[in-house]
Amino acid sequence: MIQRQQEIEIEKNTAKPQTTTYVNAQTRYNSAHSKLVSPISGTLSDDALRIEQEKQDKLNRLQQRRTHLSAILEAEKTKYQNELASTRQSSRESMPYMKIGDNSLHSAHETERQTIVHEENNKHGTINNPSLCSIEQKLENLQPEYWSEQHNERHLVQEEEEEEENNVKYQQELRHDLYEQDKQEENKRTNRIQQLKIILQQQMDELKQKEEKSEILKQEEEHLFREQSQLDQHEEERKQIEKCHIQKDDRHPLLRQHKIKFHKRSKEIQEHLELDMKILESIAHVDNENYLKQSEQREPLRQNALNMLKQFQQQMKFEKEKEQELDGMFPEEIAKQWSRREQEWNREKESREKLIRQIIDKRHEQIMEKLQILKEQQQEIYERQRILIDDMQQARKYDLIEQQKQAKEREEKKQNSSRQISILEQERTHSRLELEKQDTMKSEDKKQMHDSVQKPQASITTTTVEPKFYGRRRVNWN
| Digit-coded pLDDT (tens) for 175-202 | 788 788 878 877 887 887 788 778 777 7
List the domain range (segments joined by +) for residue 358.
203-248+259-410
C-alpha distances (whole Å) from 433 to each of 327, 419, 424 are 139, 21, 14
Residue 277 resides in a domain: yes
The model carries a pTM of 0.38
CB of 135 closer than 8 Å to CB of 460 = no
Which has the closest alpha carbon to 286: 302, 310, 308? 302
Over residues 243-256, mean pLDDT: 49
Residue 451 resides in a domain: no
Residue 406 resides in a domain: yes
Picking from 55-69, 149-163, 246-260, 315-329, which range would have the lowest pLDDT averaged per residue?
246-260
Residue 421 resides in a domain: no
At 11 the pLDDT is 65
How many independent structural domains does the chain possess? 1
Residue 297 resides in a domain: yes
CB of 282 closer than 8 Å to CB of 227 = yes
| Digit-coded pLDDT (tens) for 112-134 | 877 887 776 666 555 555 665 66
Over residues 158-174, mean pLDDT: 78
| Digit-coded pLDDT (tens) for 371-391 | 788 788 888 878 887 887 888
At 373 the pLDDT is 82
DSSP H helix total and E strand total for the chain: 8, 0
Percent with pLDDT over 70 in the chain: 54
- How far from chain centre, in Å, is Cα 56? 66
Average per-residue pLDDT for the chain? 70
Query: d(Cα 191, Cα 440) in Å, to the nearest integer?
Result: 59
At 28 the pLDDT is 65
Whether 256 shows a pLDDT value over 70: the answer reads: no
| Digit-coded pLDDT (tens) for 87-99 | 777 766 655 545 5
CB of 395 closer than 8 Å to CB of 200 = yes
Task: Using CB atoms within 10 Å of the CB of residue 356, give its burial: 0 to 12 exposed, 13 to 18 middle, 19+ buried.
Answer: buried
Residue 51 resides in a domain: no
Residue 429 resides in a domain: no
Query: d(Cα 417, Cα 419) in Å, to the nearest integer?
Result: 5
Range picked from 290-294, 320-324, 415-419 for highest mean pLDDT: 415-419
C-alpha distances (whole Å) from 191 to each of 184, 188, 194 are 10, 5, 5
Query: d(Cα 305, Cα 358) in Å, to the nearest integer?
Result: 11
Picking from 155-159, 390-394, 410-414, 461-465, which range would have the lowest pLDDT averaged per residue?
461-465
Residue 393 resides in a domain: yes
Percent with pLDDT over 90 in the chain: 0
Where is pLDDT greater, at 57 or 427? 57
